[in-house]
Amino acid sequence: MAQVVDLTETHGVGHDGGDGHSGHPPTSTGINHRKMLMWLFLASDCMFFGSLIATYMIYRGRSEEMGIGPFPHELVDIPYTSVSAFVLLMSSLTMVLALSALQQGNIRNSRLWIAATALLGTVFLGGQWFEFSEFYHEGLSLHTNMYGASFFTLTGFHGFHVTIGVLWLISLLFVSLRGGLKKEDSLDLEIAGLYWHFVDIVWIVIFTLVYLIPYEEKTSEAGEHAMRLVSFGSSLLSRFF
Amino acid sequence: MASRNPAVPSAEHEHDAHGSHPGDRTYIRIAIILSIITAVEVLIYYIDALEGILVPALIILSLAKFIIVIEYFMHLKFDDRNLTYIFMCGLGLALATFVVLGIIMHYDKIDTFVSNAI
């Protein structure tokens, strides 16, 4: 005999998919649709940034080979960017503390942490603006060389994501101040938090691949050897096939 | 994988309740760990003796930071396993795009190299 399951009891009230929305209609996966949609968006955004980072990694070396400066090692300021990375990392902490406070019903603290996150995000954006201005004054723009084009596109799109996140947080802060963000609405903040943390993990990757990993002659020499090896292999294969 | 039968909540579903998320102290500890890893990354960048292992070390450290943030701050460790699969699909495709683009550009360089040699 088929087992009759009351979805409303098990999902809608008893278990809500971890969203904090007790009135959410039942879903076949047990996961709130909004939360799942945000994760799907983040997965698609991974591909977007993956393509941008790959393009940057390919082109920054090419501009050095072509001899059109300025080059990455002449411009990047590691201590300055490290502070920016630290600021964004701390904003992830304040974001998660805001969610934790709201889930505990501490509205006042949640507002405080949301405001702190938006502030840290703004500080990061200010830092990025300053860095862009410095690079521009040093002679690097979107049109200078392949390094400039791929660098400004990659970091600019990341900055755009941070801007959207800051605006989102400010709007949530206003909603909270008007009494519209309570313990039951924690999913609203959790979804904004997922987006914010994603922006942070993208910067973790950018900070390492764009700023810290150097492009050196050794790398290109190793590439030359690898190319010789592959071309030898392909010529060997062409004799047999 | 998480149980799909809503009548029988699995242990993973039990974790979905917000009470099982880490507390504020854990979050602060994690933030301290992340800050230390960032400091180590910057430090090894300046140590000439570590030049040989710089790239793998930086990649491992940033991977550690990446995993810690998605597991604890984004709660993937405590949420439904399906969310992890969704994100890993996107991440896998991103990595594949990265590798394929690298290979395409690499072979493009080989063609140029071979034609120059000829």
Query: What pLDDT band is residue B115 in, cutting at 50, 70 and 90?
Result: low
User: Domain check: are A148 and A168 in the same one?
Assistant: yes
pLDDT in tens, B72-103: 999 999 988 999 999 999 999 999 988 888 78
Residue A104 included in any domain: yes
User: Domain check: are A12 and A104 in the same one?
Assistant: no
Residue A220 included in any domain: no
- Domain of A17? 1-31
Task: Mark which residues 2-61 of B lie under 8 Å from A by CB.
Answer: 2, 4-7, 9, 13, 16-18, 21, 23-24, 27-28, 30-31, 34-35, 38, 41-42, 45-46, 54-55, 58-59, 61
Q: Tell me, yes or no, if A39 comes closer than 8 A to chain B by beta carbon.
A: yes
Of B17, B46, B94, the CB nearest to A49: B94
User: Domain check: are A140 and A176 in the same one?
Assistant: yes
Query: Which residue matches tokens 């938090």?
Result: A193
| C-beta atoms of A49 and B114 within 8 A | no
- pLDDT > 70? residue A22: no
Across the range A139-163, mean pLDDT stands at 91
User: Domain check: are A17 and A76 in the same one?
Assistant: no
User: Angle between the A186-206 and A146-177 helix axes, to the nearest 10 degrees?
Assistant: 160
User: Domain check: are A75 and A8 in the same one?
Assistant: no
Residue A228 included in any domain: no
User: Domain check: are A76 and A138 in the same one?
Assistant: yes
Residue A219 included in any domain: no
Q: Tell me, yes or no, if A212 comes closer than 8 A to chain B by beta carbon.
A: yes
Residue A165 included in any domain: yes
Q: Tell me, yes or no, if B68 comes closer than 8 A to chain A by beta carbon.
A: no
Which ipTM did the prediction report? Answer: 0.78
User: What string of DSSP letters covers A44-110?
Assistant: HHHHHHHHHHHHHHHHHHHHHHHT-S--HHHH--HHHHHHHHHHHHHHHHHHHHHHHHHHTT-HHHH
- pLDDT > 50? residue A89: yes
User: Domain check: are A115 and A170 in the same one?
Assistant: yes
User: Domain check: are A79 and A120 in the same one?
Assistant: yes
Q: How far apart are CA A7 and CA A1, in angstroms?
A: 18
- pLDDT > 70? residue B20: no
Task: Mark which residues 97-116 of B lie under 8 Å from A by CB.
Answer: 97-98, 101-102, 105-107, 109-110, 113-114
Residue A3 included in any domain: yes
pTM for this one? 0.80
User: Domain check: are A9 and A43 in the same one?
Assistant: no
Across the range A13-34, mean pLDDT stands at 62
User: Domain check: are A1 and A21 in the same one?
Assistant: yes
Residue A234 included in any domain: no
Look at chain A and report how many structural domains it folds into: 2
Q: Tell me, yes or no, if A5 comes closer than 8 A to chain B by beta carbon.
A: yes
